[in-house]
Amino acid sequence: MEYQTEIHYQHMFLDIADRWAKIVISTDEGYTIKTKLFATLYILVRNSKESMEINISASQKSFTKYPFCQLLLSLTRKDAKTLRSVVSSIRNDYYKLSKSRHSRSLDKLKYMTVEGLFFEILLRERGITPSLFTEDLLERLSEWFSKHGNHEYIPFLWTFGLAYGISLKNEHITKEIQWGNYNLLGLSLLSYFFFEAYKRNNDIDSLSNHYIATKYMMDKLRAILEHTDNPSEETLDTVFKVGVLLHLSGYFSSLSLPNEERIKYLDLLLRIPPLRRRFESIMDSSLQIGFELDNLQVPNTPIGIKISKKFKIPLWVVALVSLLISIGVFIIQITHQDFLSLQNLLIISLVVNGYLVYKLSRLKNEVLKKLERREKI
Amino acid sequence: MIPEDFTTSLYTCENVEKFPNMGVLKKSVFEFIKTIGKNLIKKGFIINEESKRITFYINPIGIVSIDYKLNYIPQDKVILLSFYPRGSGKGLDPKNWRRDYNFNVALRVLEFCDSLGDTINVSVEEYGEVNFNRVYLNEYLNIRKWRVSLFGEQEVALDYVLNNRKLIYNLLLNHSKERIYTFVLFSHIFHETNIDRETRKNAQEAIEILKQELQKFGDVDGVYDSINFKYVLETYSKKNDTIVIFIETEDVIGSMYKNFKKYLDVNRIPSQFISIETILEKFRKWPGVRLNFLLELFNKINESKPLFLKPIPYLYEIDGVLCLSDIKDASIKSLQKLFGALFMYTEPGIYEEVHIYEDIPYNIQQGQIVFENEDGIRRLVEYVYQLGGEDTVTMDIFLTRPWKKKHLNQFITQLMKVGYKVNRVYYLSTVRSRFVDETLLNNLLRNSSAEYRIPSKVRYELDDYWHYYYIVSNKVAFIRTSTQLRIYPNLFNLFVYLLWPESGSLSKADLEKILWFTKKRLYRFQEFFVTKYPEPIWIFKNLRKLYLGEVDERIRIPLRLMI
């Protein structure tokens, strides 16, 4: 089934992006060049084209204030030569900003990091090398953000590294993500990088993070969708950027499934893998020390299931009992030659151990099955 | 349809080869007025030869004076002669003039100029004749379709915003749910035991109305006694989502503002002062006043503004505006000569500060800023570099007082050396040259029975979104920033003087830029058409309402708190 015929909020977003891209491109006045170019870029990615002619005048002053103006222009014009020189000049700006002692440099660098990573994805898609974010620049940025306490910007860098196989040397980086801290573009970048990381490493953690980011992103999109009559240019720019990223990440391929199937598929991917992983990790640790569950939740997300299970086995007791039985068997065997006592001890030992193994494995299978069926546990 | 020309009380004399002595010229103008004295007397104007004053009586103000100012613009060889009303000391003070009083007074000044005629030929002793021609206004900027960003999400036309008060209110309500705001209320009168029953009842009622309103937007704490505000605020974390509100009677609120505001701003605590009278009389009757209050509150909380006027194309050539001003605080005699600077960006969402420096030595000589030494200029450049917050910034400069030419050039050269680019320098004033004009009165006439000779065919063409302007010469222009008449200062236009570049000349674009900085104060929702001062100038004007006290180190205040 084609996604165009389905009714769902993801689809609505595509409709809106398509509609506004057409309006922005075809309206002569009223939109800045920046917004027109983002609309063009969206259409290019949407239709898998490389360049498109639009009627704009690059001399508009508002445009030159945007730090990525030339890059944006070159990306819509299949102009690899200019792209390379522009990329190198923008990279220099990052270095300049990171050395500046000005108060606004930090703000500008934060802004340019998020915005620049969006372009980085497009550059890599186009195979432009060297691209904007070299390993050295990534290191420098991660150190800079750590130093200034802007830890919320670091996930962009390590997830970018994860997506493209670059590992950061900075030891102070935290890999915890506070999802609520990010705006729409930030969330779509994280969603994109995690998806790329999943494709590169076949790593289920990245896939689940990709879907968590996507879920948060869709929640934010809803707010935008409420104001579709008169979106501001900032909103339109964001809509086009997010549209580009969603198309590039192949997220909309899941939309080709029938509606019911797609929801099931998204639901399964969104809920079960992280929960299953979480349970398994608790289970593994509990085999050593016992476990007690009040509820089960994916960290830092609202995704969870209410659960109440308690199974505490002090493993050292099991081990001690086994040891004592073994010693007992050994002593009896050497000293008393009492076959009956030995037999009794062996039977007791087997029953105890067997019962424990049976109980544990049954509980594990029961919980996992219920999770799959999404039944109350 | 192009409107007809509108009369003013401004006259200009162009191509003056040599400027006559100011005192002598002023006397000569008075002599000219005397020559048509009979005509004036018939119309109720009194010419007092002794005091050299022109007055008239108007009910209920009493005696009003018609004063005149002369300004010489040497670069353009132009002399400005402007007539304007002022208090005579024998009548109601202009600050207490109501809207209709102002209207009638302005009408009389225009009638006075009608009697003088369109041309004034003044004979100046040992100089010759100076010929002044009356100025008519016929060009305007229409801002009706300027764009406004609503919460950064939607973009609509300005008139749509101003006509959809309910929509803005509902948007504000929806967006307030994204964060948890705490409003901390303070009132001394609420705790005062020694007051009459009526005042107590009013205070309780006003606070209840306010509480009910604020509870829709967040948590409300208090009412605490204003006297203990510092002690109480210590228990609140200094995060941006806490807002302090003082509710007192009209006569107390002014002095409380003077005394408390500096502490609150320097400690970065958003605060709002509101009188019991405003709440009781206007909150229910005028929903726009309530929205005005809320918008001001939410503008003070963080950098992202609920309503933001989108930059007009002319603003794209600059990153922002640097405003520099000498500072006079609310003290009767200032303790120190303080100097203030602020940088206001044209883009939204950027943190901005006002700085007050105690170590820039300067004097005011003949109305001009003269720095005591070059070190002061150098230091100011260094401070501005820190204030700008970037390595390269392109800016316009607004000055609240002209600077000595040499010092201005030195300042600009040094700014350029550190990498900052200066685009234009303007001196903006509301007192330098004051005149009244018909355009403002026209709006009022729509709902008024007053008789005046504005042609009926244009009467209904005029619009509050039309800002009339007049470019006198390359360097000087006037623009009507407030298009509705409310209080005395609304009567006058904004005087714009292009001080730099020396070869530059003023155009419509300059005036539109300045108008944008005035009308960006969209949070003054109810007063939008009355707002007169560009926001940077307004902030320094606001500083004059505070007691700054002895300043021993630089004061830094987030700009959003000073609106």
Contact B336, B345 (CB under 8 A): no
Q: H/E element holding B136? A: strand B128-137
Query: At B342, which CATH number?
Result: 3.30.420
- Residues B295, B259 within the same domain: yes
- Into how many domains does chain B fold? 3
Kindly list the domain boundaries of chain A, sorted by start residue.
3-256, 273-373
Nearest CA in chain A to B156: A230
- Residues B297, B317 within the same domain: no
- Residues B314, B444 within the same domain: no
Integer Cα distance of A168 and A162 in angstroms: 9
Provide the domain limits for residue B404. 310-428+537-562
- Do the domain assignments include residue B233? yes
Q: What pLDDT is attached to residue B76?
A: 93
Contact B99, B61 (CB under 8 A): no
Report in angstroms the alpha-carbon separations of B70 from A142, B20, B84, B107, B330.
62, 11, 12, 21, 29
Q: Are B153 and A223 an interchain contact pair (Cβ–Cβ within 8 Å)?
A: yes
Q: What would the two tokens of residue B196 be?
A: 């009459």
- Residues B82, B191 within the same domain: no
Q: Are B351 and A61 an interchain contact pair (Cβ–Cβ within 8 Å)?
A: no
Question: Using CB atoms, which residue from A64, A104, A232 is nearest to B155?
Answer: A232
- Residues found in chain A: 377
- Residues B424, B546 within the same domain: yes
Q: What would the two tokens of residue A223 be?
A: 């707010």
- Do the domain assignments include residue B158? yes
Q: H/E element holding B103? A: helix B99-116
- Do the domain assignments include residue B397? yes
- Do the domain assignments include residue B480? no
Q: Are A223 and B154 an interchain contact pair (Cβ–Cβ within 8 Å)?
A: no
In terms of DSSP bridges, do strands B181-186 and B242-248 run parallel, antiparallel, or are they unpaired? parallel
Q: What would the two tokens of residue B539 be?
A: 């902030």
Q: Calculate how close chain A gets to B310, using CA atoms only, in Å.
A: 10
Which of B279, B308, B337 terminates a domain? The answer is B308
Q: What pLDDT is attached to residue A365?
A: 80
Nearest CA in chain B to A228: B154
Tell me the one-letter amino acid at B265: D
Chain A residues inside the 8 Å CB shell of B146: none
Q: Are A107 and B351 an interchain contact pair (Cβ–Cβ within 8 Å)?
A: yes
Q: What pLDDT is attached to residue A5?
A: 36
Q: What pLDDT is attached to residue B64?
A: 95
- Do the domain assignments include residue B502? no
Query: At B191, which CATH number?
Result: 3.40.50.2300
Please report the ipTM that was assigned to this predicted complex.
Answer: 0.71
- Residues B201, B214 within the same domain: yes
- Residues B398, B439 within the same domain: no
Q: Calculate how close chain A gets to B293, using CA atoms only, in Å.
A: 25
- Residues B390, B343 within the same domain: yes
Q: How many CB atoms lie within 10 A of CB B444?
A: 19
Residues of chain A with pLDDT under 50: 1-10, 58, 255-257
Q: H/E element holding B66? A: strand B62-73
Q: How many CB atoms lie within 10 A of CB B135?
A: 22
Q: Are A235 and B153 an interchain contact pair (Cβ–Cβ within 8 Å)?
A: yes
Q: DSSP letters along A55-122, please?
A: ---TT-HHHHTSTTHHHHHHHTBT-HHHHHHHHHHHHHHHHHHHH---HHHHHHHHHHHHHHHHHHHH
Residues 145-164 of B with CB under 8 A from A: 149-150, 152-156
Question: Using CB atoms, which residue from B152, B313, B388 is nearest to A234?
Answer: B152
Integer Cα distance of B156 and B145 in angstroms: 8
- Residues B166, B192 within the same domain: yes
pLDDT per residue as tens digits for the range A13-59:
777 888 899 999 888 777 888 898 999 999 988 887 766 666 665 45
- Do the domain assignments include residue B185? yes
Chain B residues inside the 8 Å CB shell of A100: 390-391
Q: In chain A, helix, strand, coil percent, each to 5?
A: 70, 5, 25
Question: Using CB atoms, which residue from B153, B311, B350 is nearest to A232?
Answer: B153
Q: Are B390 and A100 an interchain contact pair (Cβ–Cβ within 8 Å)?
A: yes
Backbone angles phi, psi at A131, to 5 degrees: -90, -165
Integer Cα distance of A114 and A186 in angstroms: 7
Residues of chain B with pLDDT under 70: 1-4, 238-240, 332-335, 442-461
- Residues B250, B202 within the same domain: yes
- Do the domain assignments include residue B482? no
Chain A residues inside the 8 Å CB shell of B319: 65
- Residues B283, B329 within the same domain: no
Which of B308, B327, B361 terminates a domain? The answer is B308
Beta bridge partners, A51, equal A77
Q: Residue A350: is it exposed, middle or buried by C-beta count within 10 angstroms (0-12/13-18/19+)?
A: exposed
Question: Using CB atoms, which residue from A61, A100, A102 is nearest to B317?
Answer: A61
Q: What pLDDT is attached to residue A257?
A: 46
Angle between helices B508-519 and B535-543 (to 10 degrees): 50
Q: Are A105 and B389 an interchain contact pair (Cβ–Cβ within 8 Å)?
A: yes
Chain A residues inside the 8 Å CB shell of B152: 232, 234-235
Q: DSSP letters along B283-299, please?
A: ITT-HHHHHHHHHHHHH
Question: Using CB atoms, which residue from A62, A64, A232 is nearest to B149?
Answer: A232
Q: What pLDDT is attached to residue B132?
A: 95
pLDDT per residue as tens digits for the range A73-128:
888 887 777 888 888 889 998 988 888 777 778 888 899 999 999 999 998 888 87
Integer Cα distance of A313 and A218 in angstroms: 43
Q: What pLDDT is attached to residue A39?
A: 93
- Residues B105, B225 within the same domain: no
Tell me the one-letter amino acid at B520: K
Q: Are B391 and A224 an interchain contact pair (Cβ–Cβ within 8 Å)?
A: no
Q: What pLDDT is attached to residue A262?
A: 55
Sign, Cα dihedral of A353, A359, A360, A361? positive
